[in-house]
Structure 1
């Protein structure tokens, strides 16, 4: 028996050797193709070619009786390795943000004062009523126990009611999941839908965490590049083309971080209809919805299925450090996302949820004033940037501007480092949000005087560029 098994295993080892040799030969050819692409300035990723490779593999798998799902996963692995071979080291775009953050922390620890225009944290205080609600919940009981991993029923019901009033929808509390911040809602959404090799479509520029989360679970990121020239509008034909690759998710952010672009109703309607037709889930990050300066259509108003709506209490309610976000989707998806919370962070603390309930149910005018303040800051920033060698499209929402430098050879990461070093002003380099090295993001989380002074110093530093 053992001799017979060993003979079979020996044959398998020989086949494995052949597979590895074929893989090596394939990657050598892939590298040659990559060299040609670089020489002629061609994009590394070509979705049409990838589609043909996968279709050919599936046809062959069917012909020889090989499982099609296995064949697709195998080809996705080979394609991902091919892209990696041609691109070289993958960029961790989120690190471009955190590198600046860490440098700021070092300076501040030394007593240096830095004008913080890098981080998306508004200086809007949580009202005392919210803090009192937390105190009452925290000190009103001896034992602080676990909460439901799905979130307090009363809070989920209040969120459902608030959204129904706002968007004329019929959401029920079981479609709502409370998460430790909006970022975790994004992670849980991606983790619940994406497996190894599955594709996620991400229009850029955008928050780098979407890409990081996808890569963390070994998904494939296909980006759609939007441009300053086209006023950051998503090219719908590129969405159509990307959907031919049968992605699992499309991730949208409207109003956009960092551009402030709001997806037009017509475009969002077409995207939603196509996603439902192709059975692609749309993750709609609407964290900046409260800072909309023109009519904003939510995916909740347009989609009947295949969506995951994400929001948080950070921006609208001045509660960034409280870490409370939420997701809305069909009950099956919410159940899957809930399991991710169960095996990771367990729950959002109950006393924080009760304070959040207070935020949602108290008088809202003060929070509406927050949006007015942010719009005023956007106006000031756009005015201050005029006269400097930058172009800037006025945001339609959000709390950022994303200027473009009209200077040959400008590199935002270098500029951000020098600006911090010499002028003690921190900004986010455009490379963090995609291939946008000629751009940088200014966060408007600080007061008007700091925004004016920060942009003044940006102007002083740009006069020295590219002097070292």
Structure 2
């Protein structure tokens, strides 16, 4: 065997080989496979609404299928009419005024995040990443040559980091701070005052901010969404906003996201996309245009359902001895601490990590949850409450029964 085919050498590049599988998608896939095999698994893993895409959006897509101009290549950066609508929507919903030339339409939020980091990071640049974090953020940073630097917040602060924590993590290599509110996986929402304080700290130190606003319309109670560049206009030349239609309009499968940012960065990211994927599917872009140009009535209905489920899941989780779940203020996730359960005996086993506990829950209760290790904070579980009310109650009831058996 030649050296070129030695089994000791990886056939996959180190850069790609270092990428971890998306833990949330992996849990969802396993739950669906078990259900297909006949097991009554209830999945809390997937971060997607259980509602269908609103009918008027589907109708727009059907019409686009019949329109010959959408059967051809279109500009790599997005349909001009969609880019203009995104600029209008950004002003309407965020109070942040931008031009269509500052918009890039992407294949979902994940591509937007990667391309944004790729456009501004050089090898070795550091990105401050508040944890718990969504699984894709650090992987996108590493793929772009950057170094994620985690700043951990826990349940005692409602999973919100402070300016003091961010400052402690800042070094001469720091280039970007990631800001996510409402948050996946915790549902944390930063107040306007805290959002402004973090933005002004970034301006003071000449840092970029990448802010993910995908859950902007899913806030509850007294919580309020705040767009950082709207309250800190001095930041706009070093701020990239990532957003999309997936969560707000129940369009996860349509794959339409976008970047809003400085023109030179958007142009660079557009150049990258022109070689990576070219234009986003035109039918999906037409659907997204209908979504963001319409009213928010369907969104309001979904938010009402999510709010009801939010209250139910938090109450039921906090009824379990050894579990503490702060009330999420946004998105559709609960992120309970299960640290007090680790090491306790449950049906003959003593899970030492939240990975082991999640595996035990799937095996014994047939409930799929995502362990906190996937989000950079062991000792927690993430449960999406974007599923039907009956399944939610049944699933958490199974957790109550199983975890209620925990013994010292």
- Relative to the length of structure 1, the TM-score reads 0.77
After superposition, what is the alpha-carbon deviation per residue over 1:219-241, rounded to whole angstroms, capped at 9, x for unaligned? 21111011212222213112123
Alignment of 1:117-136 (within 5 A): 117-136=44-63
Q: From the CA coordinates, give the structure whose radius of gyration is larger.
A: 1
Q: Give the Cα–Cα distance (whole angstroms) in 1 for the partners of residues 256 and 93 of structure 2.
A: 20
- Please report how far the alpha carbon of residue 216 of structure 1 lies from its aligned counterpart in structure 2 after TM superposition: 2.0
After superposition, what is the alpha-carbon deviation per residue over 1:183-222, rounded to whole angstroms, capped at 9, x for unaligned? 1111111111112111111010010211011122332111
Aligned residue among 236, 248, 259 for 2:175: 248
Aligned residue among 182, 186, 189 for 2:109: 182
Alignment of 1:37-116 (within 5 A): 95-116=22-43
- Please report how far the alpha carbon of residue 465 of structure 1 lies from its aligned counterpart in structure 2 after TM superposition: 4.3
Q: Is the Cα contact below 8 Å between 2:28 and 2:43 reproduced in 1?
A: no
Unpaired runs of at least 5, structure 1 = 1-89
Q: Give the Cα–Cα distance (whole angstroms) in 2 for the partners of residues 374 and 288 of structure 1.
A: 12
- Aligned partner of 2:270 in structure 1 is 338
Considering fraction of residues, name the structure with more helix.
Answer: 1
Q: Is the Cα contact below 8 Å between 1:100 and 1:417 reproduced in 2?
A: no
Q: Does 1:421 align with 2:324?
A: no
- Aligned partner of 1:327 in structure 2 is 259
Give SS of 2:197's match: helix
Q: Give the Cα–Cα distance (whole angstroms) in 1 for the partners of residues 97 and 69 of structure 2.
A: 38
Q: Does 1:445 align with 2:392?
A: no
After superposition, what is the alpha-carbon deviation per residue over 1:237-295, rounded to whole angstroms, capped at 9, x for unaligned? 12123333341211111011111111222222122122223221111011111101111
Q: Give the Cα–Cα distance (whole angstroms) in 1 for the partners of residues 356 and 337 of structure 2.
A: 15
Q: Is the Cα contact below 8 Å between 1:246 and 1:278 reproduced in 2?
A: no
Alignment of 1:137-148 (within 5 A): 137-141=64-68, 144-148=71-75
Aligned residue among 215, 218, 224 for 1:291: 218
Q: Give the Cα–Cα distance (whole angstroms) in 2 for the partners of residues 367 and 164 of structure 1.
A: 18
Flag the 1:184–1:280 CA change in 2: closer, same or farther, 3 A.
same
Q: Is the Cα contact below 8 Å between 1:200 and 1:219 reproduced in 2?
A: yes
Unpaired runs of at least 5, structure 2 = 1-16, 344-351
After superposition, what is the alpha-carbon deviation per residue over 1:85-117, rounded to whole angstroms, capped at 9, x for unaligned? xxxxx9966544344234224313323332110
- Aligned partner of 1:20 in structure 2 is none
- Please report how far the alpha carbon of residue 464 of structure 1 lies from its aligned counterpart in structure 2 after TM superposition: 4.3
Flag the 1:260–1:141 CA change in 2: closer, same or farther, 3 A.
same
Q: Give the Cα–Cα distance (whole angstroms) in 2 for the partners of residues 102 and 168 of structure 1.
A: 38
- Higher mean displacement: 274-283 or 92-101: 92-101
- Please report how far the alpha carbon of residue 422 of structure 1 lies from its aligned counterpart in structure 2 after TM superposition: 2.2
Q: Is the Cα contact below 8 Å between 2:132 and 2:152 reproduced in 1?
A: yes
- Please report how far the alpha carbon of residue 131 of structure 1 lies from its aligned counterpart in structure 2 after TM superposition: 1.3
- Aligned partner of 2:207 in structure 1 is 280
- Please report how far the alpha carbon of residue 302 of structure 1 lies from its aligned counterpart in structure 2 after TM superposition: 2.1
Aligned residue among 372, 393, 402 for 2:335: 402
Flag the 1:242–1:386 CA change in 2: closer, same or farther, 3 A.
closer
Q: Is the Cα contact below 8 Å between 1:117 and 1:425 reproduced in 2?
A: yes
Give SS of 2:105's match: strand
Q: Does 1:230 align with 2:157?
A: yes
Q: Is the Cα contact below 8 Å between 1:126 and 1:317 reproduced in 2?
A: yes
Q: Is the Cα contact below 8 Å between 1:133 and 1:354 reproduced in 2?
A: yes
Flag the 1:115–1:217 CA change in 2: closer, same or farther, 3 A.
same
Q: Give the Cα–Cα distance (whole angstroms) in 2 for the partners of residues 93 and 465 of structure 1.
A: 32
Q: Is the Cα contact below 8 Å between 2:240 and 2:261 reproduced in 1?
A: yes
Q: Is the Cα contact below 8 Å between 2:310 and 2:332 reproduced in 1?
A: yes
Q: Is the Cα contact below 8 Å between 2:70 and 2:282 reproduced in 1?
A: no
Q: Is the Cα contact below 8 Å between 2:35 and 2:41 reproduced in 1?
A: yes
Q: Give the Cα–Cα distance (whole angstroms) in 1 for the partners of residues 224 and 201 of structure 2.
A: 23
Q: How many residues align?
A: 377
Give SS of 2:240's match: strand
